[in-house]
Amino acid sequence: MELDPLILVLLGLFGLLGGIGITAVGPGGVLPTIGMFLLTGLSPSGVAGTAIATHIATGALGTAAFTRSGQLREARTRRVAVILSAAALVGAPLGVLFNTLVGGRGFAILLATAVATTGILVWVRERRASASEDDGDGELSPVLTGAVGLVVAVAAGLFGLGGPMLSVPLLVICGLPLLPALAAAQAQSVVIASVGTAGYLVHGSIDWMLAALVGVPELAGVVIGWKIAHAVPVRKLKYALAGTLLALAPYLALHG
């Protein structure tokens, strides 16, 4: 695919910012999908397939980072991660299937809806955290965790996401503290991305050169975001992300 150099730079920037968002606040993996949708001529399956392929490496790196920092060594977090990952085995293939059934206009509207929903979830999560010093007791039922995992995996397979975009705000709203939620979401994203990539590969919908162009900066962003999550308050960043997503949603709907 021949793209203008400026477009290539912008796609790399979308990847970098997406990687930072993945490990710093959770909802960030949607940015590569948005970038490819707005800046390339790829079909919906091409956008989702290429985007989801980048999340295999980012999910693995994020999982390793949160294992190193201890969150994924906690039994509670591992249980959540296992349930989320099991749900992804069912949900991700369904998302890939749904993607093949929607046209460009339908994809645009669905993506805009998902982006707006994520922005609202981030805002609600932060309002909830501001209203109480309690960051959640961390005890989620397996049924609730599985339901979250299934919904997230279907959406991730449909749009080419890793999963933290939706799973982190949903898990926090349900009562799981932020860092364990981020850690469990990284583990789930490896399964979502692997299964989703296999599905889109069958359809020939992955542009590997573009995946590398976006994925390498995204990996750098994952490391930066992980450091941010452990080093500085990121509430303002979360509000900025929520505002950006809500502002982008109408444009995405019209773009299709």
Weakest mean pLDDT among 14-18, 40-44, 223-227? 223-227
Of 68, 85, 58, 49, whose CA–CA distance to 201 is shortest? 49
- 8-18, pLDDT tens digit by residue? 999 999 999 98
DSSP track, 9-49: HHHHHHHHHHHHHHHHTSTTTHHHHHHHHHHS---HHHHHH
- 48-78, pLDDT tens digit by residue? 999 999 989 888 988 998 898 888 899 989 9
> DSSP assignment, residue 175?
T
Q: Would you place residue 217 in the very low, low, confident or very high pLDDT band (cuts 50, 70, 90)?
A: very high
Tokens representing residue 92 in the block: 């991700």
**Which structural domain, as residue segments, surrounds residue 82?**
5-255
Q: Would you place residue 235 in the very low, low, confident or very high pLDDT band (cuts 50, 70, 90)?
A: low
| Predicted confidence (pLDDT) at residue 135 exceeds the cutoff of 60 | no
256 burial (CB, 10 Å; 0-12 / 13-18 / 19+) is: middle
Split into its structural domains, the chain has a count of 1
Q: What angle do CA 120, 125, 131 make, to 5 degrees?
A: 125
Full-model pTM? 0.82
User: Which H helix or E strand runs over 114?
Assistant: helix 104-131
Q: How many CA atoms lie within 13 A of 99 on its CB side?
A: 30
Estimate to the nearest angstrom the gap between the alpha carbon of 198 and the chain centroid.
18
| Predicted confidence (pLDDT) at residue 133 exceeds the cutoff of 50 | no
What Cα–Cα distance (Å) separates residue 196 from each residue in 129, 249, 251?
A: 33, 24, 26
What Cα–Cα distance (Å) separates residue 209 from each residue in 27, 53, 213, 215?
A: 24, 11, 6, 10
Q: How many CA atoms lie within 13 A of 43 on its CB side?
A: 13
Residue 103 CB coordination number (10 Å): 10
| Predicted confidence (pLDDT) at residue 1 exceeds the cutoff of 80 | no
